[in-house]
């Protein structure tokens, strides 16, 4: 049975996509069967996995509108080692097109049920909003991974996300929980980041992942080569951190 995780944070530019593609590649490297679902119309996770969002024949949009299955629309990337269910601008229209549909927030969940036996992990890259698309992700998932930068306003934004997750848990998806908060783009030389990191641990305890992802330019360069950092330059500090994170995730799942 596949374990399904959303990578979510309603703020943009906090490292969601970087986390999704590198965790996917890291898990693949340690032998896990991974499906990466891009739920952001920007299609960054798609391009960052070497799939051209402009020319791919089918996408997650077709899956949400039930004109294709995940099996039909998914593309396996040899280089990355995981399957990509891609997204592009079409997806921005799905929100409107789904308005009339019953149980519209459960479309992705239903589609993923069909490939449950084919994967160990499904990772969903969410857009920077708490939209119908994100709701589809949260309704499908067993857990949420929240990447965050250790900055003052990061904590403030977290309250909204935590409340949304509580509401989805109460009304739509009893399985949903926060698996963990992942500190990303971390620079230990910055005192404020250390302080916020300490506050996070005081507040959320075990929910803060042990692994910390450092700020590392190789992770930022990798998308322009259509690769996750873990594949582009496995020896880079940031890539090594994501490989550790993949191992930490596998350990956490065993305890779930
Ligand atoms: P989101 O998906 O939340 O919008 P991204 O993953 O696209 O965020 O990251 C935003 C920007 O920060 C991108 O340019 C990305 O390459 C860069 N970035 C993300 N994580 C790191 C990191 N650990 N070190 C350096 N740059 C990073
Ligand atoms: Mg993104």
pLDDT attached to residue 107: 96
Ligand number, closest to the Cα atom of 182: 1
Distance of CA 59 to the CA centre of its chain: 17
Domains (range + CATH), the chain: 3-255 (3.40.50.300)
Q: Measured from the CB, is residue 240 less than 6 Å from ligand 1?
A: no
* 41 Cβ contact list (under 8 Å, min separation 6): 87, 88, 89, 90, 91, 92, 127, 133
pLDDT attached to residue 80: 98
Residue with the nearest Cα to atom 21 of ligand 1?
Answer: 185
pLDDT attached to residue 183: 97
* 33 CA to centre of ligand 1 in angstroms: 24
- In this structure, which residues have their CB less than 5 angstroms from ion ligand 2? 16-17, 44
Using an 8 Å Cβ cutoff, are 17 and 127 in contact?
no
Q: What is the pTM of this model?
A: 0.97
> Which atom from ligand 1 is nearest to the alpha carbon of 11?
3
Which residues of the chain fall short of a pLDDT of 50?
Answer: none
* 219 CA to centre of ligand 2 in angstroms: 14
* 12 CA to centre of ligand 1 in angstroms: 9
Q: Measured from the CB, is residue 127 less than 6 Å from ligand 1?
A: no
Distance CA 208, CA 202 (A): 10
Ligand number, closest to the Cα atom of 14: 1
* 117 CA to centre of ligand 1 in angstroms: 31
pLDDT attached to residue 154: 78
Using an 8 Å Cβ cutoff, are 37 and 122 in contact?
yes
């Amino acid at each position: 049975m596949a374990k399904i995780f959303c990578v979510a944070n309603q703020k943009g530019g906090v490292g969601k996509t970087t986390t999704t593609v590198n965790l996917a590649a890291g898990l693949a490297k340690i032998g896990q069967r991974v499906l990466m679902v891009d739920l952001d119309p920007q299609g960054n996770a798609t391009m960052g996995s070497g799939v051209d969002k402009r020319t791919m024949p089918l996408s997650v949009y077709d899956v949400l509108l039930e004109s294709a299955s995940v099996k039909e629309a998914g593309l396996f990337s040899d280089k990355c080692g995981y399957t990509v269910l891609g997204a592009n601008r079409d997806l921005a229209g799905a929100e409107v097109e789904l308005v009339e549909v019953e149980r519209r927030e459960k479309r992705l969940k239903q589609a993923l049920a069909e490939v449950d036996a084919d994967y160990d992990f499904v990772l969903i890259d969410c857009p920077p909003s708490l939209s119908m698309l994100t709701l589809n992700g949260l309704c499908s998932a067993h857990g949420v991974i929240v990447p965050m930068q250790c900055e003052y306003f990061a904590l403030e934004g977290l309250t909204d996300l935590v409340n949304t997750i509580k509401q989805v848990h109460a009304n739509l998806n009893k399985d949903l929980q926060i698996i963990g908060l992942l500190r990303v783009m971390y620079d230990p030389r910055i005192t404020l980041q250390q302080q916020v990191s300490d506050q996070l641990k005081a507040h959320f305890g075990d929910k803060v992942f042990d692994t910390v992802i450092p700020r590392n330019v190789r992770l930022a360069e990798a998308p322009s080569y259509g690769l996750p950092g873990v594949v582009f330059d496995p020896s880079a500090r940031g890539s090594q951190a994501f490989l550790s994170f993949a191992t930490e995730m596998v350990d956490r799942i065993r305890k779930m």
